[in-house]
A and B are shown apart, each in its own frame.
Chain A
Amino acid sequence: MEGIKIAGAIITLVGAIFIFLGGLGLVRMPDLFNRIQAGTKASTLGTILSLIGLAMVNEGWIWKLLIIIVFVLITNPVSSNMIARAAHHRGEKLTGQTLTDMLEEETDNSKEMEDEL
């Protein structure tokens, strides 16, 4: 019993480290899209590991924590996708290191087509 609790605490700690790295990425990354990459998603594994660790420490919570994990997995990508999409439509600047922006080309083309019509 004691062993499982210690293992759970260690797993929660590893999860916390991942969440910390996500936060660090939020500060270090050069533009909005890269920040979303590091900030909201390096933390998915962190959140899941923290919750699994908690479930090992307190067995009574296992099912509730499982539901939280499923909800995190459903809502997390939807929200980061919506933020990125809105930012791109608004014309958020990409960092100078960016290689290519094929979505920009596409929307430019559709604008030209609208003008022709």
Chain B
Amino acid sequence: MNIRNIVNLFVLLFLIWLMLTGTLEPVSIAVGLLLAAGLSIAFGKNSMVFGKLRFTPKMFYYTFLYLVVFGWELIKSNFKVALLVINPKLPINPGIIKVKTKLKSPMGRMILANSVTLTPGTLTIDIIGDTFYIHWIDVKTLDPEEAGREIIGKFEKYLEVIYG
């Protein structure tokens, strides 16, 4: 368990190093390897990020699908909010509603909450237990179930497979 955390953190740190330096010179790579190894051994024990993640082909496939869905939602809702802002009447219809999530793992919930916040039009304000409190700029329904399908349904089904 510990070893896996350390290895995951090492790979992540080394990739970031490669991207930041942008060279493949042996000296730079050697320094990067040393730094990544040192940091991942020092902090790998406490890193929760990869906690229960299983690296299976199915997980990568669903991560890819999730990124596609998320990107599309991001673009769509950005246009929606931009159109709202330039509309002279400012037709907003805001409210704070609650939505229940099926996700159990803290990491999955965090990513779900951040995805909801990143798509403009919805903003996670608080999480109490398994309930998300979401500020919605254009409230369509007050029913938690229906709102859940509308806002988090499309993300939830992928994150459920990735994080459980």
Contacts and interface: CB of A to CB of B under 8 A. Distances in A.
Given A37-B120, A38-B81, A42-B81, A100 B95 contact: yes
Interface in B59-117: 74-75, 78, 81-82, 84-86, 90, 92-98, 113-115, 117
B13 interface: no
A73 B31 CA distance: 28
Contacts of A18: 78, 82
Given A21-B85, A28-B85, A81 B94 contact: no
A66 B120 contact: no
A64 B115 CA distance: 23
Nearest to B70: A73
B162 interface: no
B95 A101 contact: yes
Contacts of A36: 123
B128 interface: yes
**Most B C-beta atoms less than 10 A away, residue of A18, A24, A45, A98:** A45
B155 to A, nearest CB: 13
Given A37-B123, A84-B123, A106-B98, A25 B20 contact: no
B90 A73 contact: no
B145 interface: no
Interface residues of B, number: 40
Contacts of B123: 33, 36-37, 41, 80-81, 84
B96 A103 contact: yes
A102 interface: yes
Contacts of A60: 22
Interface in A19-41: 21-22, 24-25, 28-31, 33-34, 36-38, 41
A87 to B, nearest CB: 9
B144 to A, nearest CB: 9
19 contacts: A24-B86, A29-B90, A30-B90, A34-B94, A34-B137, A37-B81, A38-B84, A41-B118, A41-B120, A45-B75, A63-B22, A66-B19, A81-B123, A81-B124, A97-B94, A100-B97, A103-B125, A103-B133, A106-B128
Given A18-B82, A33-B96, A99-B139, 10 more contacts: A29-B90, A33-B135, A37-B120, A45-B74, A63-B22, A67-B19, A74-B114, A81-B113, A88-B126, A98-B96
Interface of A: 18, 21-22, 24-25, 28-31, 33-34, 36-38, 41-42, 44-45, 60, 63-64, 66-67, 73-74, 76-78, 80-81, 84-85, 88, 94-95, 97-104, 106
